[in-house]
């Protein structure tokens, strides 16, 4: 069985992420979407909330499993029998950062391959950080996040979104 892991903080999950999950799932028999805590970021949603949003927004992809984990990605990947790390790229700046991470991963776990997938151009400008900023100020989220995530963001910032 070909198992891939798509790791990220997904705070929140965007339509760009969903695009990567849908396309990445076609490359493997099982795609594990692994939510982790990024120590350099202050999350808007808890890991449990992010996991719940991912489950709700990926149920149309049959071979997806959503989990959360802590620790080293390479160790988790080996525990799960994964051979691929799937990373989404939006721009050249993403590539430079992800390329360095992939080289480090290859050094510590030579049997683990990193696969880069370019997001669809219609999502290339979307980032979770940008979405959080838009939502914080009551901005429009149309077409940038799944409907369920938009609802959760509007609940979180209900004082900014008047009915």
pTM of the predicted protein model: 0.92
Q: Could you give the count of Cα atoms lying within 13 Å of 51 in the half-sphere of its Cβ?
A: 13
Annotated catalytic residue: which of 17, 50, 132, 152? Answer: 17
Annotated catalytic residue: which of 25, 50, 90, 132? Answer: 90
Structure tokens at 10: 């997904």
Per the structure, the count of domains in the chain is 1
Q: Which domain holds residue 35?
A: 3-120
Residue 55's CB is within 10 A of a number of other CB atoms, namely 14
Quick check: is 142 in a domain?
no
Strands (E), 80-139: 84-89, 113-118
Quick check: is 140 in a domain?
no
25 is catalytic: no
Using DSSP's 3-state secondary structure scheme, residue 151 falls into helix
Structure tokens at 40: 């350099």
Write out the binding residues for ATP.
9-10, 17, 88-90, 98, 123-129
Quick check: is 66 in a domain?
yes
128 is catalytic: yes
Domain of 42, CATH number, reads 3.40.50.620
41 is catalytic: yes
Quick check: is 13 in a domain?
yes
160 is catalytic: no
Quick check: is 152 in a domain?
no
Quick check: is 114 in a domain?
yes
Mean pLDDT per 10-residue section of the chain, whose length is 163 residues: 96 97 97 88 92 97 95 94 95 86 94 95 93 94 96 91 70
Quick check: is 157 in a domain?
no
Write out the binding residues for substrate.
9, 41, 73, 87
pLDDT at 41: 77
pLDDT at 163: 59
Residue 129 CB contacts under 8 Å (≥ 6 apart), including other chains: none
Quick check: is 151 in a domain?
no
Annotated catalytic residue: which of 50, 128, 132, 152? Answer: 128
């Amino acid at each position: 069985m070909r198992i891939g892991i798509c790791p990220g903080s997904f705070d929140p999950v965007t339509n760009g992420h969903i695009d990567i999950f849908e396309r990445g799932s076609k490359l493997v028999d099982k795609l594990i979407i692994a939510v982790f805590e990024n120590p350099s970021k202050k999350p808007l949603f808890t890991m449990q909330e992010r996991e719940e949003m991912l489950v709700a927004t990926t149920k149309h992809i049959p071979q997806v499993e959503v989990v959360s984990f802590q620790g080293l990605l390479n160790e988790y990947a080996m525990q799960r029998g994964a051979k691929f790390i799937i990373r989404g790229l939006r721009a050249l700046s993403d590539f430079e950062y992800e390329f360095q991470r992939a080289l480090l991963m290859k050094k510590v776990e030579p049997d683990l391959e990193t696969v880069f997938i370019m997001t669809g151009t219609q999502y290339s400008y979307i980032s979770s950080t940008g979405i959080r900023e838009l939502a914080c100020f009551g901005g429009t989220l149309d077409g940038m996040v799944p409907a369920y995530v938009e609802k959760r963001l509007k609940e979180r910032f209900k004082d900014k979104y008047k009915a």
